[in-house]
Amino acid sequence: MWSLEQVAEHNSPASCWVIIKSGVYDVTDFLQEHPGGAKIILKYAGRDATSAYEPIHPPDALEKNLPPSKHLGPLSDIAAKFVAHEQENRKKTKDEARVEKAQLERPPLGRILSLADMEAVARKVLSHKAEAYYSSAADDHITVTENARAFSRFFFHPRVMRPVGKCDASTTILGFKSSIPVFVSGAALAKLGHPLGEVNIAKGARTTSIIQMVSSNASMSPAEIIAAAAPSQPLFFQLYKNADDTVAEKRVREIERLGYKAICLTVDAVIPGNREKDVKSPWVIEDLERGSPQVHVEGQGEDDGDTIFGTAGALIVNDDRNMTWEKTIPWLRSVTTLPIVIKGVQCVEDAVLAAEAGVDGVLLSNHGGRQLEYSLPPLEVLYKLRKQRPDVFDKVEVYIDGGVQRGTDVLKALCLGATAVGLGRAFLYAQSAYGESGVVKIVRILEREIITAMRGLGAASVKDLKPEMIERVDWEPLPRARL
Amino acid sequence: MWSLEQVAEHNSPASCWVIIKSGVYDVTDFLQEHPGGAKIILKYAGRDATSAYEPIHPPDALEKNLPPSKHLGPLSDIAAKFVAHEQENRKKTKDEARVEKAQLERPPLGRILSLADMEAVARKVLSHKAEAYYSSAADDHITVTENARAFSRFFFHPRVMRPVGKCDASTTILGFKSSIPVFVSGAALAKLGHPLGEVNIAKGARTTSIIQMVSSNASMSPAEIIAAAAPSQPLFFQLYKNADDTVAEKRVREIERLGYKAICLTVDAVIPGNREKDVKSPWVIEDLERGSPQVHVEGQGEDDGDTIFGTAGALIVNDDRNMTWEKTIPWLRSVTTLPIVIKGVQCVEDAVLAAEAGVDGVLLSNHGGRQLEYSLPPLEVLYKLRKQRPDVFDKVEVYIDGGVQRGTDVLKALCLGATAVGLGRAFLYAQSAYGESGVVKIVRILEREIITAMRGLGAASVKDLKPEMIERVDWEPLPRARL
Amino acid sequence: MWSLEQVAEHNSPASCWVIIKSGVYDVTDFLQEHPGGAKIILKYAGRDATSAYEPIHPPDALEKNLPPSKHLGPLSDIAAKFVAHEQENRKKTKDEARVEKAQLERPPLGRILSLADMEAVARKVLSHKAEAYYSSAADDHITVTENARAFSRFFFHPRVMRPVGKCDASTTILGFKSSIPVFVSGAALAKLGHPLGEVNIAKGARTTSIIQMVSSNASMSPAEIIAAAAPSQPLFFQLYKNADDTVAEKRVREIERLGYKAICLTVDAVIPGNREKDVKSPWVIEDLERGSPQVHVEGQGEDDGDTIFGTAGALIVNDDRNMTWEKTIPWLRSVTTLPIVIKGVQCVEDAVLAAEAGVDGVLLSNHGGRQLEYSLPPLEVLYKLRKQRPDVFDKVEVYIDGGVQRGTDVLKALCLGATAVGLGRAFLYAQSAYGESGVVKIVRILEREIITAMRGLGAASVKDLKPEMIERVDWEPLPRARL
Amino acid sequence: MWSLEQVAEHNSPASCWVIIKSGVYDVTDFLQEHPGGAKIILKYAGRDATSAYEPIHPPDALEKNLPPSKHLGPLSDIAAKFVAHEQENRKKTKDEARVEKAQLERPPLGRILSLADMEAVARKVLSHKAEAYYSSAADDHITVTENARAFSRFFFHPRVMRPVGKCDASTTILGFKSSIPVFVSGAALAKLGHPLGEVNIAKGARTTSIIQMVSSNASMSPAEIIAAAAPSQPLFFQLYKNADDTVAEKRVREIERLGYKAICLTVDAVIPGNREKDVKSPWVIEDLERGSPQVHVEGQGEDDGDTIFGTAGALIVNDDRNMTWEKTIPWLRSVTTLPIVIKGVQCVEDAVLAAEAGVDGVLLSNHGGRQLEYSLPPLEVLYKLRKQRPDVFDKVEVYIDGGVQRGTDVLKALCLGATAVGLGRAFLYAQSAYGESGVVKIVRILEREIITAMRGLGAASVKDLKPEMIERVDWEPLPRARL
């Protein structure tokens, strides 16, 4: 039972204690191991760190990373009450006040007609930090933008006079049934946008019978998330492989034991992308509070670069940067019986190598434009794959993610041979705006749009979607209108 | 003779009466059959519904859809007067007030120099609901925009030193004479924009000697419309085939009996498109009246989706979604001797199938971009047809509609082999802005533009317009200037 | 000697007198022959018409078009003084006041660095009517814009390590020396922009040793213009052939007699283009004076269309619309010994026909985008001609006009084989802004830009400019920056 | 020892003295030789010229250009004090006041995340004159813009599952080690932006181990600059060859003696480009001070054109305009043993000629878009060279400069075969904003971006960057977002 005064004494790198949810922890030795760097912890040395810790760590993070001897025990009741009281009476930041107002002004869910409508609401109700993390992408946001624009270069050759009275958009992914050819692609830190985070998505996926791929970097633990799912509901796991094979194996075996149905190995994020919007976000908030921007003082050195990888960098600091087709795939096969998907293939050559490596699925993805700027849009890679190596589609299931906004986008990928299409940010936005109902809503919207477009195309089932129904045009349509 | 009090008692799904033009109708049993859904009728249960009913229903709608026993008879004189008085003294909505002002500020008709000028006036004088219905299109309005932009990729190779002192733009369509190679393409609900609706168009077509294609979804009956035409004036009928062949046959025979000269079977609208502007239009009006947008209240479920198909959905709810070339064309041939045009062909393959099915004309159209988003622009389909299957032009007449704004647009289609070009929205806008005079005006504008451009091209008649006079360029001109 | 009261009695179509420069004229019989229509004259029936007449008619127009018997003689001195006094004390229109202010605010000529700078000044100091007439183009101004944009698709392959210490940009056109490969292309009505009109251009051309092509529709007579030229200074004449061969022959013989050095037969303007900005210009001025736009009054008919061809239409009403290669070229050869240039060829096929018809020069031009909208840009036609029929360049001199703004534009045309490049509007703007000095200035600017670019290209003379120095790229640069 | 009164008497072309840093100089005879023209000197005739002289002349300029007899000796102490006092108490111009404020508002250096961030700061803290000189480019800034846009047309085919745990971006240039494949390309007048000018860059290059190419037109002398470098630090020299071979030889031998490691012969700037922003910059400042623009007075002649080449023109007035491959390269080989790079090759043909001429390196460059407008972007030339003449890369080292903003830009050039990439303006901006620290900062940024992108591409060293990793796409991405 600790008093605040006692904790406050340990406020330096030499001895650094923090309070998290009324517990006191000695993180002195852990400072150098913290994936997010020592600096961010030291900001809270000797005091309560709960509000910074909670939205971006799974509940079991302390348990996993800190030896029991460093769990120093609870605050005294008075201290705990005082901390809670302080937290409650704390003056709201300008950004918090803005968010609170935006929450009250959300339109009724029935007025959300499209994923763009949903994103617009989410962008308003998210904290600046969350909005920056979700929307940020590599360098100048070329890739994230081009991922979406790529769809606009593909037009349909719709077929008429085909019976579409009955129209079925369901499919299977790695043998698991999905109500529409859409899945939740792995995306981190859902709790940044909503306290129920990834569980909102799991429950929405349950209601609508689609498949969720859970990220290694989720803000909730894999166990917590799958616990929210129905018994028979299939969930996949997006693996960021640890550089240490033993650590990685332990993780994979835990995932299989928890009941996840596939392992999606992330190969396009061995180091963090350069996401400036995310990196700049704390400065924006500081300047907003201060009322004016911070200025340069000559003679002071540069920043130590501690923050330049932003939120993203912290998440993957221990990941394996030396994976190879020859070494890593056989290793993964040796530690799990689950189907394996390679997530992050970005060119035809690697799709072929993946198929030859005997995996079960290939997810063409450039990480939503968050990693390498000017990585070719996944839809363009899919198009090349269809033209250059159609045999690959017979060997593995192929998926894409990145830039999908409409039912027609989904159908374009399917016409070119994709089994299904993943969305990441869309689900983060939906749960941020309306929780579980938001998740359900966007699946319903996509379902309606997919069925409408299939009928317009003359397709009564996903099998009827063919490469000859689509054409890559040589002009660029104007941007989508905001109505 | 009913009192208002008596009617007012029947204000629930259990017993639902409405007043339309001083008549009382029991629509309780009809609620579930109403193409527009029960909800919209129940808004008026027990009271006068005339203002909502009139602009979107043909005058014979009640007669056709409600058995005589449900025609309960007239209101009492006092009640009728009271209703009329109420209607007159009703406070104008903000949108009505705006429209009234805009009507007074219309420029003189002589100042309308182009179809764009006409549309600009119409957009101002239309009610928000009408403007939204007329201008709305699928999803993000990509297709509607690209339909028009496609024309800008085609440039002329004008020929000089050819005698064009005499220049004749007339042609024939299915053997019927037309003063210019332009026709009114089927478009619904003209009364939304002007009380005389489709009759404005019929009279304007009469004055200018062009052909009108009347929609199944016109806001006036086919009989009413043809009655406004001259005895020899040819009108075509745009058929939305009912799923029930018997109902459909009855319709076709009635049309033939009335004197229509061709049947244009609509094949690109088996289900309503996703027109968000149309769906959102009531909310825009509500929020305008309220002075602030409606907000979300947690815990309340989603809307029941009753309105998500907007005005469009209601119109085609009973249409045949299982038409085929093998079944539907022979059936239609068996019930009519009129020439048959397939309206809504969107790719080369289907144009070939139509020609092989022995129809008389093929209208390349994607429904003005209102159905399947990313359907290839009709002009591009025409261009492909010319290149890949020029033989089709020898077997059937080919038309296009969608995106036509200028005489040069018309000539581009004719150079590529089209017999004539249809315009839909342009006629709705013209009659909304200036009634019949507006219709006449835009035909005169098109005629002047066509003749001017033919002479500039070195063509003295439509036969002189050749594929070699046109080139598809590899750049995209800037948008048309607003002068 | 007439009094104002006497003239004022003749203010109707039955008897219509007007005063022009203190002379009284009976134009009753002429009303129906007036190329600009009767209506515009009747506005001035019975009163002074000088200010409307002067800027758009050559001084000999009355003499040529009105028999001597209709020249009724001068006003009385008192009447003439009164008219002059009225004119002087007349309240300035808002547009005149704006122009007067803009004149005072012109930057020093030394600050004009480019043709764009010059145009910007001119656009400000021109009356609305003049600005509208000069800048207007067909339909939506696509062609005029694309004429200029076409140049931006051509990039250079500059050569280095070539001696360019001495660099000579001079050339010959039809054997006549020109200081730079640039000429004044025919353009009408220079007096709209400056009282000295075409004479400004003739004098500027003299100072800078370039060739002026004088328009049939100049606001000064060919005699007046050539009188301002130096004795040896070559001028060409842009002929709008009259439909009546006798009238036309008389015109050609007069031109030859006056000393013009070539006949440029205009073939792309057999009827006026659709120039809406020009047509709308009187309404803009009316509304400006009125302070609010004119509105529509139901029941009043349409305008009679009297003005729909604007200023342009009036100029060419009697022109020959039935010229042919077989008939017109031999006829022209038979009535003149001057070299013949065909102005307004717009495709490769017609350039070939012109060469075969034995003319001396072909001017690839779409009339500055003022005639047929979507006529291919002249530079693109030139590029096609170079690729498809390089032999044509050996048979005739080839020129282009339309869209030229910079020295690099000129060099692009020369690399592709053009002998010289014409500019029309640029000279109208220059003389409007600064009179003769403006004309000299833009030639000096072009000369400097041409020499600079030739040296940058590694070309010491125009002979060194070769097709291999230029490439048509497959992207579209952003618009030119305004610095 | 001169009094101000004595100096003031010599204030005309007949006898023109100026004061520079308390010394008195007789420049009467030099007026006509001054590369920047007599006019600019005469503005200061009879008075102190230090503030105009200093930022654009190397310290040894007087010594080199004025015979000792014209060095008239120092001002008297009182006069010198008076001049200094005047200078100090001089009222700041509006532009100086703006710059002073902008300096105080610079963000902390740690917040500069990209070269675009750095440029944004520099653009604010630079004087108008300096900003105009640095950012100006030929004509309408098409080329400078397209240089940068060219990079956006190249997308990557990133390879996954390759070991990139260790990643090394270092390379050699002409045998000299560089920490990243980036060098400082020659750019003039660094002192315009910061009093320490080129020395800032030399020191920053030393700290970060990259190579600086020093311009003939630097605002500091080659000796001064190399003195700031480390003993082993390699610097290259960008030679503007004097028309007089003897003068040029003396220069080259001096450079070699000073220890520079390579001669980069500039071949794309034999005459100044047309840089209107630079030329206009004094007028902008004048009008700003005056509070209103200067206006035209009729009758006054044009400017004498003295200033129309701006800052740029003055710098190269004596350069050799008649260089040839046959004459100039052997001459240069005969006067130096240093490696030779040709700077300013702009097409494949000249790259081949350079390789055949036996030089050591070819810098594909269009002078940052400052010379010939519409010179093909260097990256496009590089791409053509790779496709058409891959053998050239085996004979000479190839570099490019122009438009580079990001690490991915650098890698695109390297994939296509470039050895290294130069940046010019970026270093001027960086040292203007934060002096030497700014230079270090942007190298660190580029290093981080390059390493990040190499890992994303699957490349562990520059040797792993291959042509097959890059694709020229057929669409144009939207402009880079400003975050």
* A290 Cβ under 8 Å from any chain D Cβ: no
Yes or no, beta carbons of D164 and A328 under 8 Å apart = no
DSSP three-state, residue C329? helix
For residue D267, the chain C residues in CB contact (below 8 A) are: 160-161
* D474 Cβ under 8 Å from any chain A Cβ: yes
Yes or no, beta carbons of D156 and A374 under 8 Å apart = yes
Only one residue has tokens 């000695």, namely A26
Q: What is the pLDDT of residue C319?
A: 87
Yes or no, beta carbons of C108 and D295 under 8 Å apart = yes
Instruction: Choose the catalytic residue: C25, C44, C134, C240.
Output: C240
pLDDT < 50: residue spans in chain C:
304-306
Q: What is the pLDDT of residue D407?
A: 98
The Cβ of residue C332 has, within 10 Å, a number of other Cβ atoms equal to 23
Contact call for D and A: 3+ CB–CB distances under 8 Å: yes
- List residues of D with catalytic annotation: 240, 268, 367
Q: Which uninterrupted H or E stretch holds C140?
A: none
Look up residue C129 and give its amino acid. Answer: K
* D322 Cβ under 8 Å from any chain C Cβ: yes
Work out the minimum CA distance from C60 to partner chain B, whole angstroms: 29
pLDDT higher for A341 or D8?
Answer: A341
Q: Which of D163, D437, D475 sits opposite A324 (nearest CB)?
A: D163
Q: Which of B294, B346, B375 sits opposite A108 (nearest CB)?
A: B294
The Cβ of residue B444 has, within 10 Å, a number of other Cβ atoms equal to 17
Yes or no, beta carbons of A375 and D158 under 8 Å apart = yes
Q: Which of C145, C153, C374 sits opposite B155 (nearest CB)?
A: C374
Q: What is the pLDDT of residue B418?
A: 98
The mean predicted confidence, pLDDT, of chain A is: 92
Is residue A269 within 8 Å of A344, Cβ to Cβ?
A: yes
Q: CA dihedral in degrees (A335, A337, A341, A344; nearest 10)?
A: -10
Yes or no, beta carbons of A295 and D163 under 8 Å apart = no
Contact call for C and B: 3+ CB–CB distances under 8 Å: yes
* C139 Cβ under 8 Å from any chain B Cβ: yes
Work out the minimum CA distance from C258 to partner chain D, whole angstroms: 32
**B267/C433 Cα distance (integer angstroms):** 60
Among the listed residues B229, B219, B218, the one whose alpha carbon sits nearest the alpha carbon of residue B261:
B229
Interface confidence (ipTM) of the complex? 0.90
How confident is the model over C15-74, as pLDDT tens digits? 999 898 888 999 898 887 787 778 888 888 888 888 888 877 877 777 777 888 888 988
Yes or no, beta carbons of A452 and B476 under 8 Å apart = no
Binning pLDDT at 50, 70 and 90, where does residue D157 land?
very high
Among the listed residues A148, A34, A236, A226, the one whose alpha carbon sits nearest the alpha carbon of residue A413:
A148
* A98 Cβ under 8 Å from any chain B Cβ: no
Which residue of D128, D136, D140 to mutate against C (max C Cβ within 10 Å)? Answer: D140
∠ CA(A145), CA(A147), CA(A150), 5° rounding?
105
Only one residue has tokens 């995306």, namely A187
Specify whether C44 is catalytic: no
Torsion sign (Cα): C185, C190, C194, C197? positive
Residue B282: closest CA among chain A residues belongs to which residue?
Answer: A111
Residue B242, beta-bridge partner list = B319
How confident is the model over D193-212, as pLDDT tens digits? 999 999 999 999 999 999 99
Q: What is the pLDDT of residue C301?
A: 54
Instruction: Choose the catalytic residue: B25, B44, B53, B240.
Output: B240
What does residue C172 show for φ and ψ, rounded to 5 degrees? -125, 145
For residue D175, pLDDT over 60 is answered with: yes
* B408 Cβ under 8 Å from any chain A Cβ: no
Only one residue has tokens 């289907």, namely B350
**Exposed, middle or buried by CB within 10 Å (0-12, 13-18, 19+), for C399?**
buried
Sequence-distant (6+) residues with CB within 8 A of D188 are D215, D217, D218, D219, D315
Work out the minimum CA distance from A38 to partner chain B, whole angstroms: 40
Q: What is the pLDDT of residue D475?
A: 92
Q: What is the pLDDT of residue C259?
A: 96
For chain B, the three-class secondary structure string (H helix, E strand, C coil) is CECHHHHHCCEECCEEEEEECCEEEECCCCHHHCCCCHHHHHCCCCEECHHHHHHHCCCCHHHHHCCHHHEEEEECHHHHHHHHHHHHHCCCCHHHHHHHHHHHCCCCHHHCCCHHHHHHHHHHHCCHHHHHHHHCCCCCCHHHHHHHHHHHCEEECCCCCCCCCCCECCEEECCEEECCCEEECCCCCHHHCCCCHHHHHHHHHHHHCCEEEEECCCCCCHHHHHHCCCCCCCEEEEECCECCHHHHHHHHHHHHHHCCCEEEEECCCCCCCCCHHHHHHHHHHHHHHHCCCCCCCCCCCCCCCCCCCHHHHHHCCCECCCCCHHHHHHHHHHHCCCCEEEEEECCHHHHHHHHHCCCCEEEECCHHHCCCCCECCHHHHHHHHHHHCCCHHHHCEEEEECCCCCHHHHHHHHHCCCCEEEECHHHHHHHHHHHHHHHHHHHHHHHHHHHHHHHHHCCCEHHHCCHHHEEECCCCCCCCCCC
* D152 Cβ under 8 Å from any chain A Cβ: yes
Which residue of B134, B136, B139, B318 to mutate against A (max A Cβ within 10 Å)? Answer: B139
For residue A375, the chain D residues in CB contact (below 8 A) are: 155-156, 158, 456
Residue A242, beta-bridge partner list = A319
Q: What is the pLDDT of residue C108?
A: 95
Mean pLDDT, residues A374-387 taken together: 98
Is residue A154 within 8 Å of A472, Cβ to Cβ?
A: yes
Touching A (3+ Cβ pairs <8 A), the chains are B, D
For residue A474, the chain D residues in CB contact (below 8 A) are: 474
Q: Which of D104, D156, D449 sits opposite A274 (nearest CB)?
A: D449
Q: Please, what are the domains in chain B?
A: 4-89 (3.10.120.10), 120-274+311-472 (3.20.20.70)
How confident is the model over A132-187, as pLDDT tens digits? 999 999 999 999 999 999 999 999 999 999 999 999 999 999 999 999 999 999 98
**B462/B453 Cα distance (integer angstroms):** 11
Work out the minimum CA distance from D293 to partner chain C, whole angstroms: 7
Specify whether A128 is catalytic: no
Only one residue has tokens 């941007």, namely A479
Contact call for D and B: 3+ CB–CB distances under 8 Å: no
pLDDT higher for A354 or A67?
Answer: A354
The mean predicted confidence, pLDDT, of chain D is: 91
Binning pLDDT at 50, 70 and 90, where does residue D164 land?
very high
Only one residue has tokens 């100096």, namely D7
Look up residue C257 and give its amino acid. Answer: R
∠ CA(D180), CA(D184), CA(D188), 5° rounding?
175
**C285/C281 Cα distance (integer angstroms):** 6
Residue A455, beta-bridge partner list = none
DSSP D185: P
- Tens of pLDDT, residue by residue, chain B (483 residues): 888 888 889 998 889 998 988 889 998 988 877 877 788 888 888 888 888 888 778 777 777 778 888 888 888 888 888 888 888 888 889 999 999 999 999 999 999 999 999 999 999 999 999 999 999 999 999 999 999 999 999 999 999 999 999 999 999 999 999 999 999 998 888 899 999 999 999 999 999 999 999 998 888 899 999 999 999 999 999 999 999 999 999 999 999 999 999 999 999 988 889 999 988 998 888 888 888 888 888 766 555 444 555 665 666 678 899 999 999 999 999 999 999 999 999 999 999 999 999 999 999 999 999 999 999 999 999 999 999 999 999 999 999 999 999 999 999 999 999 999 999 999 999 999 999 999 999 999 999 999 999 999 999 999 999 999 999 999 989 888 776
Touching C (3+ Cβ pairs <8 A), the chains are B, D
